[in-house]
């Protein structure tokens, strides 16, 4: 499991996928989310702009990212 420490109150899902290196670009993040390949806290998420806060877990392509 990877972790990503945020500086503000939240980070958007698309930004977190890019920052963690799970996708190459914002376009890749957009399609991964819209295709239902990303889950947040165990539930499929179709909102690329979903706000993630500390404690949230993102799963994509067999990888997990914990927001800290």
Would you give per-residue pLDDT tens digits along the chain (68 residues)?
889 999 999 999 999 999 999 999 999 999 999 999 999 999 999 999 999 999 999 999 999 999 99
Cβ contacts of residue 10 below 8 Å, gap of 6+?
A: 51, 52, 53
CATH architecture of 2-67: Roll (3.10)
Q: pLDDT value at position 12?
A: 97
pTM over 0.85: yes
The tokens 């998420």 sit on which residue?
Answer: 45
8 A C-beta contact, residue 59 and residue 39: yes
Q: pLDDT value at position 1?
A: 87
């Amino acid at each position: 499991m990877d972790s990503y420490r945020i500086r503000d109150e939240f980070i958007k899902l698309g930004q977190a996928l890019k920052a963690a290196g799970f996708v190459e670009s914002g376009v890749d993040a957009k399609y991964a989310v819209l295709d239902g390949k990303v889950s947040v806290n165990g539930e499929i998420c179709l909102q690329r702009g979903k706000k993630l806060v500390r404690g949230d877990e993102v799963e994509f392509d067999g990888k997990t990212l914990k927001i800290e």
